[in-house]
Amino acid sequence: MTKNIKKVLIVLCTLFSWVGFAQEREVSGRVLDEDALPIPGVTVSEDGTSNGTVTDMEGEFEFSVTDDENTTLIFSFLGFQTQEIILNGQTEFEIVLEESSEGLNEVVVVGYGTQKKANLTGAVSQVDSETLEDRPITNVSSGLQGSMAGVTVTGASGAPGNNSGDIRIRGIGTWGNASPLIVIDGVPGGNLDILNPSDIESISVLKDAASSSIYGVRGANGVIVVTTKSGKGGEPTLSYNTYYGMQRPTAIPEKLGSPEYMELLNESQINVGRNPTYSEEEIQIARDGSDPNYYANTNWVNEVYKDYAPQESHNLSVNGGEENLNYYLSYGLLKEGGLVVGDKFEAKRHNMRAKVSTTLLDRIELNTNLGYIDRNYTGSSQGFAPLYQALTVRPLVPVRNTNGGWGYIGGSSNPVATAYEAGTNDFTSEEFTANVDAAIRIFEGFKIRGRYGLVKYNSRRNVFDRTVNYYDADTGNLVWQINNPSQITTSSYKGTYQTFVGTAEFDRTFAEDHSVQALLGVSQEETINDDLSASRTDVASTSVGHINLGTDNQRNSGSNAQNALQSVFGRLNYAFKDKYLAEANFRYDGSSRFAKDVRWNLFSSASLGWVFTEEEFIENDILDFGKIRASYGTQGNDRIADWAFMDVLGPVNTMPIGNAVTIGYRQTAVGNELLTWESAEKLNVGLDLSFLDNRLNITADYFENNTNNILLRLPIPDVFGGPAYPYQNAGSVENTGWELELGWRDQIKEFNYDLNFNISDVRNEVTDLGGTEPTIDDRIRRVGDPLDAFYGLVADRIAQESDFTYDAGSDTYTPNFPYIQGDPVQPGDLIYKDLNGDGEVDLVNDRKVIGSHIPRYTYGFRGDFDYKNFDLSVFIQGVGKVNGLLTGTARHALISESAIPQAVHLDRWTPENTNASYPRLTYQQSYNQRLSTYWLEDASYIRLKNVQVGYTLPENFTSRFRVDRLRAYVSGENLLTFTDYFDGYDPESPVSSGSFYPQIRTFTVGLNINLK
């Protein structure tokens, strides 16, 4: 042992001697700008080390460096191009730094190409790989949340392998499919959330018509363009990135124990004139635990949830190339554990990608991009039932009886039994993508390009419902079963998407001042999906779930869907002296989803830009760049059923003939040959500004989006007699708002920092329902209101005894305020406002729009800091002016047998607790729980989304081991949430009674290694 310690000490001393006792020499000099003025604060560092200094107020520097002819000095300062100087025996330097126009020359990915950011006339936001790197995110959509103005991600859960959210760009423009079009490496229609985040180079969001109308019929909801990483050329570089982490829920409700449950149940029953269920003796039994079979004290939330779930990621990539050949190869493995006992919730995903680019004969470009994804996830055959049952089962029920059987005393099923034995839902899928691209330069500035894209998937789902038996704790007799008989259902999903795109591209500058870019293209796309499902009951095995083991009720079904799209599209850009900018786009689409006479339509846009800082009359030392831009255009949405314009026949079981069930056919859908696409009109006005040597950048936009011809089922005369009214183009929705993005980059000596903030405001309104009556329920669809807004009563307060006239003789309270007739209103109940002033409250005249699930404001802040070898990033995200709603057992107590009270319900109204937060408890009565302002939650929040701290070992040390970069870091996701949402639930919870997988908080430790 002592010898080993001595050996380690000797090695460490040797290493430090290499680092600490190398010969050094003094270097000095001065750093100037192009006008020969000194630049203070320039970082001067020795390449591959943490050794460095900064220039003083006269631009001068002096420090010691390694005495080596090949030692390289790096001069860097924000707003100037970085320079590298090799010593070559020199000790004094005069360095002239050139100004950098990096921000203006930044290339942004747009539809079918790229453009300089300075020349953009549309509304485009872009994030690079740094936004997603090293964060413990399992899908790309959650990584985009809060990162760009106008992009909202909602509805995400933490379920392994099935935790993507809904992305909305500038609001919700339709009550149909409002998802944006996803384009991955030029191929439309990909799945964003199964990509490996480590493979992504950049993500652009095309928000207005100028940027997205070139995608025509599918661009109405915005477009997300993903570009994956490519080879960088040069010597091969091997990168390995890994992390290991632990997941925990961000919030979990706290249910009451058995004694409190029994006392509150008794109280709720007495409040409605019923006899209490439990005696004081029975409550005492629950307290002392003397009867664990019938008076247990089980914390079901703790029993169902694990302490934590593991999450790990491994990513290996190789990139490099030679003069005319670049390559990028990658493999990623993601493993997610589940928070639910029984190991029913877990996921695994393998991602592989190979990209090769080559140039032949100096004029032919060939690009091949192949991807393969193998993924699987497992859930319960009962969905999220174990989590919901943990909220609904009585705490009196034990997990297991003293005889070893599952605990059960009636009512809700045992959630632990469900998690362990009720069955599995196994999903596996293989996806293959191919993208082959070839371009030939005909002459300078003109090339033609062809691209073939393929997306092919083969998925399978196996749902095995196993029978769970519950036995009497005393007699051992069977008292209850679920999933009887057992059942196995196997489904197969296969799909193929193919596209061919041919373009002609022109890019020339004439007479130095006139820049012209033109694009003309054609495309054809085809999608074929084929699904098959089969099921059997009475499965012979309880451990192996295979369709062949089912012995009875053999059933099967299938479906097929096909659609195609042909298009001609083009774009023309013109810039005069990079000062006056103009762009026009068009796309002529033909979709098989519509009848021949209305199958084709033209979508177009036009935009203008003025870089006013290029004008001679504007001279300003503070403002570096200023541009005003405006755009207007039309787009479409063809995401409807494939044969909605046709009458559809479907099979139906008929009466038995000859003791055999026969199959007949009937009309299941009525077509509408006039049906056509939803159309969107978009107006955008924007402003781009850069100040103080491009340190401060501001982008502001105002937009108006109108979606028309939304599909509605309009009523027609009853003599129609069809199965359902056919769809017609009738509805309209408007979204208006503004966006603001602020960025500040600077450095103070060796401290660099980058701050970015974005905020957006979206106001949503239904503007036309085609003359139909509004849909009025707890969610309303009415002209003038937000889409599917919350519609309810306005609660005043909890009634007190002083609000009633008390009759001692009959022991009754008569309310002295308007109330809903038939409600047995008593002190402790809610008082609702009489909105129309008629002296009573009713559900027809006294309800109003009280909130919306669509966030009005979304915002995000990201700060990146580094000092020498340390780095820190902080990401904050949030939403404002948005409402959420929890119903049933998730929010209320004892309105039904399954509404088990929570800790917050201890603060209920009683004559002794009149300043309570919850009304009096009323057993099996829910008139207090009608949707009203009292129960609508404020779902606004500010979340510390991610914090990451890293340290990179000095390169002069790691290079001895052929390691180019070695960085270790710790990271946390969803660390803190500040909200007024209902206690025990995350503000991003869906509108639900509690049947959902919770949001998760993740802590990780990671490593980045780059090998030369």
The predicted-structure confidence for 225-259, as pLDDT tens digits, reads as follows 999 999 887 788 899 999 999 999 999 999 999 99
Q: What's the confidence (pLDDT) of residue 165?
A: 83
Q: How far apart are CA 184 and CA 202, in angstroms?
A: 10
User: Is residue 365 assigned to a domain?
Assistant: no
Per-residue pLDDT tens digits for 669-703:
888 888 888 899 999 999 999 998 889 999 999 99
The residue among 713 and 760 whose pLDDT is bigger is: 760
Same domain, 120 and 86: no
Please enumerate in sequence order all residues whose Cβ is within 8 A of that of 774, keeping only pairs 6 or more positions apart, or say none.
780, 781, 782, 783
Same domain, 90 and 110: no
Same domain, 127 and 89: no
Q: How far apart are CA 831 and CA 847, in angstroms?
A: 13
Same domain, 814 and 920: yes
DSSP one-letter code for 921: P
Q: How far apart are CA 718 and CA 370, in angstroms?
A: 55
Q: How far apart are CA 57 and CA 415, in angstroms?
A: 70
| Range from 185-199, 712-726, 872-886 carrying the lowest mean pLDDT | 712-726
Q: Does residue 880 contact residue 860 with C-beta atoms inside 8 Å?
A: no
Q: Residue 982 pLDDT more than 60?
A: yes
User: Is residue 918 assigned to a domain?
Assistant: yes
Q: What's the confidence (pLDDT) of residue 6?
A: 46
Q: How confident is the model at residue 105 (pLDDT cuts 50, 70, 90)?
A: low
The residue among 76 and 948 whose pLDDT is bigger is: 948
Please enumerate in sequence order all residues whose Cβ is within 8 A of that of 608, keeping only pairs 6 or more positions apart, or say none.
121, 581, 582, 583, 629, 630, 631
- Please give the residue range of the domain that contains residue 79: 23-100
> φ and ψ at 280, to 5 degrees?
-65, -35
Q: What's the confidence (pLDDT) of residue 902?
A: 95
CATH number for position 53: 2.60.40.1120
Residues in the chain: 1012
Same domain, 805 and 920: yes
Nearest to 379 by CA among 415, 345, 349, 343: 345
Nearest to 44 by CA among 88, 89, 69, 80: 80
Q: Residue 331 pLDDT more than 50?
A: yes
Q: What's the confidence (pLDDT) of residue 956?
A: 80
Q: What is the mean pLDDT of residues 566-571?
A: 95
Q: How far apart are CA 338 and CA 346, in angstroms?
A: 5
Same domain, 73 and 128: no
Residue 176, SS3 per DSSP: coil
Q: How confident is the model at residue 780 (pLDDT cuts 50, 70, 90)?
A: very high
Same domain, 917 and 828: yes
Distances (CA, A) of 1005 to 167, 877, 968: 29, 22, 8
HEC secondary structure over 651-666: EEECCCECCECCEEEE
664-703 as b/e: b if 16+ CB within 10 A:
eeeeebbbbeebbbbbbbbbbbbebbbbbbbbbbebebbb
Nearest to 835 by CA among 844, 843, 846: 846
Token pair of 131 as six digits: 């936004």
Q: How confident is the model at residue 506 (pLDDT cuts 50, 70, 90)?
A: very high
- The burial class, CB within 10 Å (0-12 / 13-18 / 19+), for 905 is buried
Q: Residue 37 pLDDT more than 90?
A: no
Token pair of 797 as six digits: 């307060």
Q: What's the confidence (pLDDT) of residue 655?
A: 63
**Strand ranges across the sheet with 72-76:** 52-54, 43-46, 72-76, 83-86
Q: What is the mean pLDDT of residues 940-963?
A: 90
User: Is residue 3 assigned to a domain?
Assistant: no
Q: What's the confidence (pLDDT) of residue 441?
A: 94
Q: How confident is the model at residue 933 (pLDDT cuts 50, 70, 90)?
A: very high
Please enumerate in sequence order all residues whose Cβ is within 8 A of that of 654, keeping only pairs 6 or more positions apart, or say none.
661, 662, 663, 664
HSE-CB at 181 with a 13 A cutoff on CA atoms is: 27
Same domain, 164 and 202: yes
Q: How confident is the model at residue 103 (pLDDT cuts 50, 70, 90)?
A: low
Q: What's the confidence (pLDDT) of residue 863?
A: 95
Per-residue pLDDT tens digits for 344-391:
899 999 999 999 999 998 899 999 999 999 999 999 999 999 999 999
Same domain, 181 and 118: yes
Domain boundary among 903, 934, 965: 934
Q: What is the mean pLDDT of residues 115-137?
A: 86
CB atoms within 10 A of CB 805: 9
Token pair of 354 as six digits: 């190979």
Q: Residue 837 pLDDT more than 60?
A: yes
Q: How confident is the model at residue 654 (pLDDT cuts 50, 70, 90)?
A: low
Q: What is the mean pLDDT of residues 419-426?
A: 94
Q: Does residue 397 contact residue 407 with C-beta atoms inside 8 Å?
A: yes
Q: Residue 774 pLDDT more than 90?
A: no
Q: What's the confidence (pLDDT) of residue 475?
A: 92
CATH number for position 183: 2.170.130.10
Q: What's the confidence (pLDDT) of residue 16?
A: 38
Q: Residue 789 pLDDT more than 90?
A: yes
Same domain, 54 and 78: yes
User: Is residue 32 assigned to a domain?
Assistant: yes
Q: What's the confidence (pLDDT) of residue 274?
A: 95
What average pLDDT is seen over the chain?
90
Same domain, 837 and 928: yes
User: Is residue 816 assigned to a domain?
Assistant: yes
Domain boundary among 61, 79, 100: 100
Q: How far apart are CA 541 and CA 554, in angstroms?
A: 16
Q: Residue 167 pLDDT more than 50?
A: yes
- Quickly count helices (H) and strands (E) in the chain: 10, 51
| Range from 8-12, 643-647, 812-816 carrying the lowest mean pLDDT | 8-12
User: Is residue 460 assigned to a domain?
Assistant: no
How many domains does the structure of the chain reveal?
A: 3
Q: Residue 5 pLDDT more than 70?
A: no
Q: How confident is the model at residue 480 (pLDDT cuts 50, 70, 90)?
A: very high
Q: Residue 795 pLDDT more than 80?
A: yes
- pTM value? 0.88
Per-residue pLDDT tens digits for 256-278:
999 999 999 999 999 999 999 99
Q: In angstroms, what is the C-alpha Rg of the chain?
A: 33
Same domain, 811 and 920: yes
Q: How confident is the model at residue 17 (pLDDT cuts 50, 70, 90)?
A: very low
User: Is residue 586 assigned to a domain?
Assistant: no
Domain boundary among 69, 85, 100: 100
The residue among 53 and 829 whose pLDDT is bigger is: 829
User: Is residue 159 assigned to a domain?
Assistant: yes
Express as a percent the part of the chain with pLDDT over 70: 96
Q: How confident is the model at residue 2 (pLDDT cuts 50, 70, 90)?
A: very low
Nearest to 261 by CA among 293, 281, 287: 287
Q: Residue 51 pLDDT more than 90?
A: no
CB atoms within 10 A of CB 640: 20
Angle, vertex CA 571, rays to CA 565 and CA 573, nearest 5: 170
Q: Residue 750 pLDDT more than 90?
A: no
The residue among 284 and 670 whose pLDDT is bigger is: 284
Per-residue pLDDT tens digits for 839-852:
999 999 999 999 99
